[in-house]
């Protein structure tokens, strides 16, 4: 059996998240429709991570079986891109081992969160960044992020309905000032709990506005109490950026 891995970008705006669900438009659902158009049979696909409604991907990895022994992978990429909707695009497609599992084989996942710091919003990036018209103290945010790096019980930073083991390792958080008043928060780790990155960003922003001290983040982590963390940062600033295997 041949297996392919696709590195996929999608604009999250018009999807009810990655995972297939009945009666709503999802990335997995649209991807499986494209596979069916090409291969004339129902096929499943597996992603490296589930993204929520409105969350984008630059480099989600999606694996699927190739039922046709003769098909050329380069042609397959072009063929799938020609039938995928305009908000999903396969950047790269390659054949991988038949044992490849995009979820469990992932050694590192990288998320990017983009904040647009400006008094006025810019409609051209409205659904692609979090527009934030208030002051942010970047150094305080960086200080706060140090408490989140390393292995911790992230109960305080998960979604209420995530029942997984809350122990996670955040390898690194980088906060970078880019051109055009864009602030990038880059979060790296092997795996994340549901809503964890958006809760981390929401918390760092509370520190940036001086609502909280950097040390509050340490207390939040130690409290292991889901109810103390503020609202998540909105989904439309978040990108599932890349996966390393």
Contact residues for its own copies, defined by CB under 8 A: 9-11, 56, 58, 86-89, 91, 120-124, 126, 128, 179
In the bound complex, what is the minimum distance in angstroms from residue 97's beta carbon to its own copies?
25
Q: Shortest distance, CB of residue 156 to its own copies, whole angstroms?
A: 32
Least distance between its own copies and beta carbon 96 (Å): 20
Judged by CB, which is closer to its own copies: 34, or 193? 34
Catalytic: 52? yes
Using DSSP, state whether 196 is helix, strand or coil: helix
Half-sphere exposure of 19 (CA within 13 A, CB side): 7
Nearer to its own copies, 15 or 147 (CB): 15
| CB 6 within 8 Å of CB 90 | yes
Q: Report phi then psi at 173, rounded to 5.
A: -125, 125
What is the number of alpha carbons within 13 Å of residue 84 lying toward its C-beta? Answer: 24
Quote the least distance from Cβ 158 to its own copies, whole Å. Answer: 28
Structure letter (DSSP) for residue 203: H
Question: Which is closer to its own copies, CB of 23 or CB of 120?
Answer: 120
Long-range contacts of 23-28 (CB under 8 A, 24+ apart): 27/51, 27/57, 27/60, 27/88, 28/62
Q: Which two tokens stand for residue 91?
A: 């950047």
Transcribe 28-66 into DSSP letters.
HHHHHHHHHHHHSS---EEESS---TT-EEEEEEEEEEE
The catalytic position among 23, 52, 78, 135 is 52
Which lies closer to its own copies via its Cβ, residue 9 or residue 216? 9
Q: Which residues are catalytic?
A: 52
């Amino acid at each position: 059996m041949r297996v392919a891995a696709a590195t996929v970008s999608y604009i999250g705006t018009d999807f009810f998240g990655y995972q297939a669900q009945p009666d709503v438009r999802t990335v997995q659902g649209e991807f499986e429709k494209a596979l069916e158009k090409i291969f004339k049979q129902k096929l499943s696909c597996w992603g490296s991570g589930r993204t929520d409604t409105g969350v984008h991907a630059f480099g989600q990895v999606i694996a699927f079986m190739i039922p046709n022994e003769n098909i050329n992978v380069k042609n397959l990429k072009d063929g799938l891109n020609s039938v995928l909707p305009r908000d999903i695009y396969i950047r790269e497609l390659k054949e991988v081992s038949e044992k490849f599992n995009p979820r469990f084989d992932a050694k590192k996942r990288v998320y990017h969160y983009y904040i647009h710091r400006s008094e006025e919003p810019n409609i051209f990036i409205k659904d692609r960044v979090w527009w934030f018209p208030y002051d942010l103290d970047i150094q305080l945010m960086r200080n706060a992020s140090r408490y989140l790096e390393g292995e911790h019980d992230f109960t305080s930073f998960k979604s209420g309905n995530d029942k997984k083991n809350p122990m996670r390792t955040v390898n690194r958080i980088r906060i970078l000032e880019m051109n055009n008043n864009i602030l990038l928060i880059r979060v790296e780790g092997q795996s994340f709990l549901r809503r964890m990155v958006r809760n981390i960003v929401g918390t760092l922003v509370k520190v940036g506005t001086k609502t909280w001290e950097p040390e509050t983040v340490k207390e939040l982590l130690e409290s292991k109490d889901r109810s103390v963390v503020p609202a998540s940062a909105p989904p439309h600033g978040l990108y599932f950026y890349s996966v390393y295997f």
